């Protein structure tokens, strides 16, 4: 799943959780899915930041 797709799904999950109405099991499933997606997005961002920093340092040399 791409970063953009993961972010879109996260937005859907947040909207569903904010809307309420889901039973406890569904709420927990959504929360778990959202947590995994968030971790994945954070890791991808950290990797991209590392690449940018490396490129920035190479330009300085």
Separation CA 9–CA 41 (nearest Å): 11
pLDDT computed for residue 23 by the predictor: 93
pLDDT computed for residue 61 by the predictor: 65
Per the prediction, the chain carries an average pLDDT of 93
Domain boundaries, the chain: 3-60
Give, in degrees to the nearest 5, the angle at Cα 44 between 9 and 60.
145
pLDDT computed for residue 22 by the predictor: 87
Q: Which residues of the chain have pLDDT under 50?
A: none
Tell me the two tokens of residue 44: 């991808």
Tell me the two tokens of residue 7: 């972010």
Residue 35 makes CB contacts below 8 A (sequence gap 6+) with: none
Residues in the chain: 61
Tell me the two tokens of residue 40: 């994945």
């Amino acid at each position: 799943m791409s970063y953009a797709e993961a972010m879109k799904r996260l937005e859907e999950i947040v909207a569903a959780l904010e809307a309420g109405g889901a039973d406890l099991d569904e709420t927990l499933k959504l929360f778990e899915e959202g947590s995994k997606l968030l971790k994945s997005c954070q890791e991808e961002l950290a990797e991209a930041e590392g690449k940018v920093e490396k490129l920035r340092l190479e330009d300085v040399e």
